[in-house]
Amino acid sequence: MVPPAQFDSYYGKPVIKAPVWKSPQIPGYLFLGGLAGASSLIGAGAQVTGRPALARAAKAGAFGAGCVSVAALVHDLGRPARFLNMLRVFKVTSPLSVGSWLLSAYVPAAGAAAFSATTGRMPRIGAAATAGAALLGPGVAAYTAALISDTAVPAWHEGYPELPFVFAGSAATAAGGLGLLAAPADQSDPARYLAIFGIAAELAASSRLKRRIGMVAEPYRSGRGGAYLRAGQVLSVAGAAGSMLARRSRLAGAVSGATLLAASAATRWGIFHAGLDSAADPRYTIVPQRERLRERQREREHPQAQDRR
Amino acid sequence: MSDPEATASSGQAEQQPRLGFFTDTSVCIGCKACEVACKEWNHVPEDGLLLTGMSYDNSVGLGADTWRHVAFIEQRRPARTVLAENGPAGTGDGGEFRWLMSSDVCKHCTHAACLDVCPTGALFRTEFGTVVVQEDVCNGCGYCIPACPYGVIDQRKDDGRAWKCTMCYDRLGAGLEPACAKACPTESIQFGPLDELRERAAGRLADLHEAGVSDARLYGADPGDGVGGDGAFFLLLDEPEVYGLPPDPVVTTRDLPSIWRHAAAAAAMLAAGAAAAFAASGRRR
């Protein structure tokens, strides 16, 4: 057992400012963006493989989730009336700028795909929009991980190599869940497989994350973040198990689908709160930075020891 | 090296020398004239009149409505590390008492995370190499706030937008020094071309070390640090974290190329997973 690290601080005050982003808007925005992006993949795949009911559900879900995701983002702005300033410039150094442009292309495409799928009108435009939404969907699902990682929030920034995979996995879980919930049993197989794939990716990436980042992973295990993440894991496993019965029982499919959607939401809420907690405690900012400085000091003093390693 | 970089990225045709602050905390007397002058000049609203019990510090830290913040630290330290004229002689076995005071401010980083992540372009680099928010553009997305490695910029609650020190951009444009530096009675806050300030700081540090103040160190003066050096740097008498400053700040966007690569790989994994899910299900019969 490693003794708790000693560190100095200014009256225990946080060094960095915690995000002012609010719940449910921002964790909701993360969850719905994932649901939308991955659902567009299901929508396209279902259309190509002749599963019209699954395609309709996925496309409608993708458009609805995309719209609510954008609405949540706008609602969280300090000046919502100035939302369009997001499109005033394009900056690759700002994942929020990249994401805003991505969403402004994606949501109309998802909308056209959903319109065509539900009304049966304009099938060629619908097919093109379906392809477009499927092309942009994975980006929509993953950019939010880049967004939160590109901050000084210790639990998010330190986790940047794994968080996109957690988010992409969680997106697959959610979209698979929606497919199971909304499509008839004889069409929902791909949704079930995608959800199981998502859960596997999510669990593998998050356990690697927690192992790799040391003490900064504490907020992922304890507090509100830890509680949400544990709930997400339990719901994931329960939903995956329930989905095995989806072929035989429409009800089992629907219940497991809803469980998987809840699992994905819980994961996003957990990551959101873990980040806030890691920002609020100066320990997570100061201790790793001190360790980094000590490491550099050691390298300066004993360069030969480094060579031998 | 970093100075032309900071002023060049302002997009101005004519190169100005980069301007900055050198805050020498060894001569700060904690009068808070800087806090007051800043508030008055910049019309920064009142943000609470509570007594915190944190020594003489009742403004707690930098924020949307505190652009200069004077930190007060009461310490009992072994006698050898104490600046001779800094406080009364030792009283008893706990060593000597010393009172550290330091006026904190936005660092106007060479590589500024707030500026990098701002999606609207509201944050920009001025011709003086400083970092300023255009309040008529800011839409209050709040991204700059957790991006700052120093916890400087924050949201004004009743207003929704992000606010921070402008290094008195209006005064600089008129050839005046910022209000805080103007008001500082001990020249703890020094303003000028950053090159000159760095030279002056190196001289001051050498003098203090010679006088036996071995605790003295510069903070944010090294262009090789994680933010490319600060436009507002400090001479401190203890570790940075004692003053509430991060010991090794790094601009988050230094890792952004890698962050984007990981996000792209995860997006590709998701697409591949979906393809595999449909391949495993086959065409519906």
Residue A272 has pLDDT above 50, yes or no: yes
SS (H, E, C) B130-144: CEEECCCCCCCCCCH
Interface contact B274-A41, CB threshold 8 A: yes
Residue B136 near chain A (CB below 8 Å): no
Report CA dihedral (B90, B93, B94, B100) to the nearest 10 degrees: 10
Kindly calculate the radius of gyration of chain B based on its CA atoms and give it in whole angstroms: 23
Given this model, what pLDDT does residue B90 score? Answer: 43
The two structure tokens encoding residue A120:
């049966």
| Architecture of domain A25-284 in this structure | Up-down Bundle (1.20)
Interface contact A50-B253, CB threshold 8 A: no
Residue B154 has pLDDT above 80, yes or no: yes
Residue B141 near chain A (CB below 8 Å): yes
The whole-model pTM stands at 0.94
Show which of residues 112-131 on chain A sit within 8 Å of chain B, judged by CB atoms.
none
Interface contact A186-B284, CB threshold 8 A: yes
Q: Please name the residue ranges forming H helices in A213-249.
A: 218-221, 223-243
Same domain, B20 and B154: yes
**Mean pLDDT, residues B44-59 taken together:** 94
Same domain, B133 and B11: yes
Same domain, B157 and B268: no
Cβ-Cβ contacts under 8 Å, A160 against chain B: 255, 258-259, 262
B230-244 pLDDT tens trace = 999 999 999 999 999
The two structure tokens encoding residue A271:
């990551």
User: What confidence category does residue B175 fall into, taking pLDDT thresholds of 50, 70 and 90?
Assistant: very high
Residue A207 has pLDDT above 60, yes or no: yes
Given this model, what pLDDT does residue B13 score? Answer: 61
Q: Which residue of A has its CA nearest to B102?
A: A10
Interface contact B253-A150, CB threshold 8 A: yes
Domain holding B201: CATH number? 3.30.70.20
Same domain, B142 and B211: yes
Given this model, what pLDDT does residue B94 score? Answer: 60
Computed over every residue of chain A, the mean pLDDT equals 95
B20-36 pLDDT tens trace = 999 999 999 999 999 99
β-strands B232-236, B19-24 pairing: parallel
Query: Which of B117, B154, B282 is facing A150, going by the closest CB pair?
Result: B117
Q: Give A59→chain B minimum CA distance, Å.
A: 15
Residue A104 near chain B (CB below 8 Å): no
**Mean pLDDT, residues A217-232 taken together:** 98
B181-201 pLDDT tens trace = 999 999 999 999 999 999 999
Same domain, B181 and B279: no
Return all residues near A28 (Cβ < 8 A) that are at least 6 apart: A68, A69, A72, A265, A268
Residue B89 has pLDDT above 60, yes or no: no
Same domain, B206 and B273: no
Kindly calculate the radius of gyration of chain A based on its CA atoms and give it in whole angstroms: 21
Cβ-Cβ contacts under 8 Å, B267 against chain A: 138-139, 141-142, 164, 168
> Would you call the peptide bond into A164 cis, given omega within 30 degrees of 0 as the criterion?
no
**Mean pLDDT, residues A169-177 taken together:** 98
Residue B80 has pLDDT above 60, yes or no: no
User: What confidence category does residue B12 fall into, taking pLDDT thresholds of 50, 70 and 90?
Assistant: low
Alpha carbon distances (Å) from A122 to A112, A113, A284, B271: 9, 10, 54, 26
Cβ-Cβ contacts under 8 Å, A194 against chain B: 273-274, 277
Same domain, B67 and B199: yes
Same domain, B210 and B279: no
Cβ-Cβ contacts under 8 Å, A6 against chain B: none
What is the residue range of B257's domain?
253-285
Question: What number is the ipTM of this complex?
Answer: 0.96
Picking from B57, B101, B118, B120 by the largest number of A CB atoms within 10 A of its own CB, the best residue to mutate is: B120
Residue A26 has pLDDT above 60, yes or no: yes
Q: Give B134→chain A minimum CA distance, Å.
A: 12
Q: Counting Cβ atoms within 10 Å, is residue B9 exposed (0-12), middle (13-18) or buried (19+)?
A: middle
Show which of residues 239-278 on chain B sit within 8 Å of chain A, judged by CB atoms.
239, 241-249, 252-253, 255-256, 258-260, 262-271, 273-278
Residue B118 near chain A (CB below 8 Å): yes
Q: Is the dihedral of CA A72, A73, A78, A81 positive or negative?
A: negative
**Mean pLDDT, residues A203-208 taken together:** 98
A73-131 pLDDT tens trace = 999 999 999 999 999 999 999 999 999 999 999 999 999 999 999 999 999 999 999 99
In chain B, what is the straight-line distance between the N-terminal and C-terminal CA atoms, in Å?
68
Q: What's CA B78's distance to the chain center, in Å?
A: 30
Residue B93 has pLDDT above 60, yes or no: no
Residue B79 has pLDDT above 70, yes or no: no
Residue A95 near chain B (CB below 8 Å): yes
Same domain, B87 and B213: yes
Interface contact B145-A19, CB threshold 8 A: yes
Same domain, B171 and B259: no
Same domain, B241 and B260: no
Cβ-Cβ contacts under 8 Å, B263 against chain A: 142-143, 145-146, 164
Interface contact A187-B284, CB threshold 8 A: yes
Helices B256-281 + A95-119 axis angle, to 10: 20
Q: Give B161→chain A minimum CA distance, Å.
A: 6
Q: Which residue of B has its CA nearest to A192?
A: B277
Residue A90 near chain B (CB below 8 Å): no
Given this model, what pLDDT does residue B91 score? Answer: 43
Residue A138 near chain B (CB below 8 Å): yes
Show which of residues 63-92 on chain B sit within 8 Å of chain A, judged by CB atoms.
63, 71, 73
